[in-house]
Amino acid sequence: MIELNKLIINNPAEQNLNFNKPSNDKKVYIETYGCQMNFSDTEIVLSVLSQFGYNETSEINDSDVILVNTCAIRDNAEQRVYKRLDDLKKFKKTNPNLIIGILGCMAERLRSDLLEKRKMVDLIVGPDEYRKVPHLIESAMESGEKGIAVKLSKVETYDDIVPVRKEGISAWLTIIRGCDKFCTFCVVPFTRGRERSRNFKNIVDEAKMLRDSGVRDITLLGQNVNSYDYENTDFPDLLKMVAKAVPDVRIRYSTSHPYDCDTKLLETMAEYDNICNYLHLPVQSGSDRILKLMNRLYSVEHYMKVMQKAKDLMPGIGLSTDIISCFPSETEEEHKMTVDLIKQVRYDGAYTFIYSPRENTKAYRMPDRLSDEVKKERMDELIYVQREISSEIHRALIGKEMEVLIESVSKKSDEQFMGRTDCNKSVILPKEVTFVNENGELIKKHECKIGDKVKVKIVKANSATLFSEHILN
Ligand code: SAH
Ligand code: SF4
Ligand code: F3S
């Protein structure tokens, strides 16, 4: 069991709160689905709960409260959660006092529907009401009262709450909540509400605190970080402030919108060594007509100019994107335009999704007449083309030297580490490595540790990962 208050980083305001913390022996198990923002929100919920003495447990059988932080972005994301809720029924049977709560974007979208149809759900809390979670748990425990808190806020940024982060050298740092872009396919503006930025002073302080606690890799988060605006400080200004405040920490961000990803941002990235040369810029489609229907606010020409500028300013930059295939009325020719765009940009990686109609969005009312067969064919083609490009790019890196920040033990083997390059390539390297000198002679064995930055030679590659055996002096 993890005692949450022990994980809270040194912050005088937090310490005072902890000092007055009511005692509580209740254990919370929390499961998270969806994007990085949701994972970051889970850390906020854990922090709020810790103020009321709750402890996190990784043992679901041992918990008094199970919380599921949900995602509503596509139908399959919701189906996964529904399936999981069915699994959770059995825990309620063996422990009738167990409290089950739904948090996050599905909570916002489905509200009372969830309470009525899923009788075992005790509370439903949307992304802007997490301060209420402890009170709602308490009411459910004491009087069996079902709780629902799904109001969206124009001001809530949880600015005063220090998230309870898991151990490790990487951390998320939310800088802006909500989204005002209203892409016609997307539920996020409905599930997370209007855009609001956090105070840059607190962001910079949090970055320094993270650095002091051993974090070496910070990702600034927002659905659209380019919209960051706090007292006339824009996103490039903020990025610069953070980069300067923690020069020994890698800074990355997610996600950027092509409409307002400007030269100032790219120049800032190029100027600071500790800002990663990596840009995830979702294009969604290679057709101007489809982009217009999506309300993406940019043209293919504009997007390509941004990409070219990024390549010119940062040679070797890592590039990735999101693509929605089979948006309503997409023709075969328009699909081919997306394929061509992938070939032209030559992304390092792409996340491809089949369009999923979401209730209440504008695109929901657009006729979606493509057969499942066509959808699968188009999706397969996108995946195939991108995989070939990723493999080619990776194969060309064999024999090259790259700097890697060691982030964790490899998921596949305890004997290996996983690290990332500045341009976001995952590299697998052995824990115990042989040093070689310039002549290629083995000079000693060395055990690396998480958080080390090492120079490696790439010896093998596939479309997703690079592999290295040696560390170079
Ligand atoms: N805020 C980010 C993306 C958030 S959602 C941005 O604007 O780039 C992540 C990705 O999910 C989107 O980029 C899009 O490619 C995909 N997505 C969102 N809604 C979808 C839907 N209804 N169907 C299929 N994919 C969707
Ligand atoms: Fe959704 Fe568009 Fe906002 Fe991204 S920018 S979260 S895709 S509405
Ligand atoms: Fe999903 Fe909500 Fe993120 S819908 S993608 S968890 S903002």
By the 8 A CB rule, do 239 and 207 touch?
A: no
Please give the distance, rounded to the nearest whole angstrom, from the Cα atom of residue 182 to the centre of ligand 2: 6
Please identify, by atom number, the ligand 3 atom nearest to the C-alpha of residue 38: 6
Closest ligand 2 atom to Cα of 296: 2
Closest protein CA for atom 1 of ligand 3: 71
What is the set of domains in the chain, with CATH numbers?
A: 12-149 (3.40.50.12160), 167-276 (3.30.750.210), 280-396 (3.30.750.200), 401-472 (2.40.50.140)
CA distances from 283 to 173, 242, 295, 457 (A): 24, 27, 12, 33
Residue nearest to atom 4 of ligand 2 (CA): 223
Residues 6+ apart with CB under 8 A from 87: none
Place of tokens 């194969």: 395
The one-digit pLDDT tens for each residue of the chain (473 residues) are: 443 433 333 333 333 334 345 667 899 999 999 999 999 999 999 999 999 999 999 999 999 999 999 999 999 999 999 899 889 988 988 998 999 999 999 998 777 677 777 777 899 999 999 999 999 999 999 988 888 999 999 999 999 999 998 888 999 999 999 999 999 999 999 999 999 999 999 999 999 999 999 999 999 999 999 999 999 999 999 999 999 999 999 999 999 999 999 999 999 999 999 999 999 999 999 999 999 999 999 999 999 999 999 999 999 999 999 999 999 999 999 999 999 999 999 999 999 999 999 999 999 999 988 999 999 999 999 999 999 999 999 999 999 999 999 999 998 888 889 999 999 999 999 887 666 777 877 766 667 889 999 999 999 999 889 999 877 65
In a mutational test of the pocket of ligand 1, which residue from 186, 220, 257, 291 has the highest number of ligand atoms less than 8 Å from its CB?
Answer: 186
Taking the centre of ligand 2 as the mean of its atom positions, its distance from the CA of residue 198, in whole angstroms, is 19
Ligand at shortest distance from the CA of 37: 3
| 34 close to ligand 3 (CB < 6 Angstrom) | yes
pTM: 0.91
Of the bound ligands, which one is closest to the alpha carbon of residue 39?
A: 3
The angle at the Cα of 66, spanning 65 to 70, to the nearest 5 degrees, equals: 140
Distance from the CA of 209 to the center of ligand 2, in angstroms? Answer: 30
Q: Ligand 2 pocket: which of 74, 235, 257, 360 to mutate (most atoms <8 Å of CB)? A: 257
291 lines ligand 3 (CB under 6 A): no
E-strand spans in 273-425? Answer: 278-280, 318-325, 349-354, 401-409, 416-421
CB-ligand 3 contact for 221 (6 Å cutoff): no
- Closest-CA residue, ligand 1 atom 5, reads 73
Question: Ligand 2 centre from 255 Cα, in Å?
Answer: 9
Q: b vs e for 40-77, b when ≥16 Cβ sit within 10 Å of the residue's Cβ?
A: bbbbbbbbbbbbbbbbbbeeeeebbbbbbbbbbbbeeb
For residue 2, how far is its CA from the centre of ligand 1 (angstroms)? 34
Atom of ligand 1 nearest to the CA of 185: 22
Residue with CA at minimum distance from ligand 2 atom 1: 186
